[in-house]
Amino acid sequence: MAGAGTGSAVGSARLSDDQAISTYRLMSTSRELEVQLARTYADGGLPGWIHSCEGHEALAGAVALALREDDHLVPHYRSRPEQLGKGMSVRAIVAEVFGTVDAASRGRGGETHVSSVAHRIYGMTGVLGSNIPLGAGVAYASKMRGVDEVTLVSFGDGTANRGAFHEALNLAAIWRLPVVFLCDNNQYVELSRISDFIGVENIADRAAGYGMPGEVVDGHDPEALTDALTRAVALARGGQPSLVEAKMIRRRGHWEGDPQDYRPDDEPALLAATDPVPAYRRRLSAQRGVTDDVLAAIDASAREVVSDALTWAASRPLPTAEDVLGGVYHEEAGDA
Ligand SMILES: Cc1ncc(C[n+]2csc(CCOP(=O)(O)OP(=O)(O)O)c2C)c(N)n1
């Protein structure tokens, strides 16, 4: 499953029917990936952790349409939809989650450190927010090289309280870096509500303090999100960084197995009303006349692509202890 990677959405113009269908395909694949990863993890078939991205799926379609193939993505640890949108295959993502030798990190990364240099996706470190100045650095490199590539750097709402966020936005503004800062605001910081930890209503309001535009967008709506990201990418290509805040709701626990006893009692109703994948499915049939057969075929193919990738990854070898120690020290030619 490849993202479009064309940078072909046009300002506030409506998506074409083809673009809308490819957006739904990415969203359906993204949801299926989360559902099957959670199930496999619950059955003991996966090492490490799963931090579900359910609720973030609209990002997959928007990233695919807003970014070009030669643009860069510096994701965070809950970014599988963005990685799919940037063109990574389900197999490549799943190889990293399972830690197999096929992964870009050759099994050293795990679920939270997905990267693919071929797709210009540079993975996350364990320190929240450390990717934000790295994203500004990638944008600085593009500027120094005189190329018109844009960097999209994403992070969670809680992470927007880290010092690195503020330092990177300030530098990007004064150096006019070709970067878009994307806050995936899913309302939760581990086991707490973000509203208990910020003194402004919107994280995007902070952009004004650095002299850059800030925009809040409905992160459940892939068309609004495509529109906002396309505009932000166009600004960045002209040397104007900005901050986009995509508001959504994390639909599962911080990690799979989190008892979630901190959720308000009325949240299940809100989650049912705001699920972005069925909402976009309904919209395609109501507004564009896409038939149920077409939508059902997309869902069936998403299920198949994901289950094929999981079966494949489960059969692939893990690195040996010797393999994972490789690359720690520089080896001179001729070293044993
Ligand atoms: C500097 C640092 N502090 C704390 C942690 C532990 N930690 C991992 S994820 C997380 C919550 C992050 O919340 P948010 O930025 O809102 O992202 P989300 O989980 O909602 O995607 C925390 C506190 C960490 N990895 N790094």
Confidence grade of residue 12 (pLDDT, cut at 50, 70, 90): very low
Question: Residue 277's closest CA among 50, 28, 48, 13?
Answer: 28
Confidence grade of residue 2 (pLDDT, cut at 50, 70, 90): very low
Q: Which domain holds residue 176?
A: 17-255+264-322
Strand (E) or helix (H) holding 168: helix 163-174
Residue 56 lies in a domain: yes
Residue 93 lies in a domain: yes
Q: Over the Cα atoms of the chain, what is R_g?
A: 19
Find the 159 Cα to ligand 1 centroid distance in Å: 6
Residue 32 lies in a domain: yes
Q: Is 292 helix (H, G, I), strand (E, B) or coil?
A: helix
pLDDT tens-digit map of 72-100: 999 999 999 999 999 999 999 999 999 99
The DSSP call for residue 195 is: G
pLDDT score of 328 more than 90: no
Q: Which atom of ligand 1 is nearest to the CA of 128?
A: 26
Mean pLDDT of 38-52: 95
Tokens 């639909």 label which residue?
251
**CATH for 273:** 3.40.50.970
On average, the pLDDT of the chain sits at: 94
pLDDT tens-digit map of 282-304: 999 999 999 999 999 999 999 99
Residue 12 lies in a domain: no
Q: What is the pLDDT of residue 7?
A: 58
Report the number of distinct structural domains present in the chain: 1
Find the 205 Cα to ligand 1 centroid distance in Å: 21
Residue nearest to atom 4 of ligand 1 (CA): 128
Residue 155 lies in a domain: yes
Residue 327 lies in a domain: no
Tokens 């790295």 label which residue?
134
Cα dihedral 66, 61, 96, 41 in deg (nearest 10): 150
pLDDT tens-digit map of 236-247: 999 999 999 999
Angle in degrees, CA 138, 190, 119, rounded to 5:
30
Q: What residues are in contact with ligand 1 under a 6 Å CB criterion?
A: 78, 126-128, 156-159, 186, 188-190, 250, 254
Q: What is the pLDDT of residue 150?
A: 98
Residue 9 lies in a domain: no
Rounded to whole angstroms, the Cα distance separating 61 from 84 reads 9
Exposed/middle/buried for residue 205 (C-beta within 10 Å: 0-12, 13-18, 19+)? middle
Residue 329 lies in a domain: no
Q: How many residues does the chain have?
A: 336
Q: Is 2 helix (H, G, I), strand (E, B) or coil?
A: coil
Q: What is the pLDDT of residue 331?
A: 76
Q: Which atom of ligand 1 is nearest to the CA of 159?
A: 15
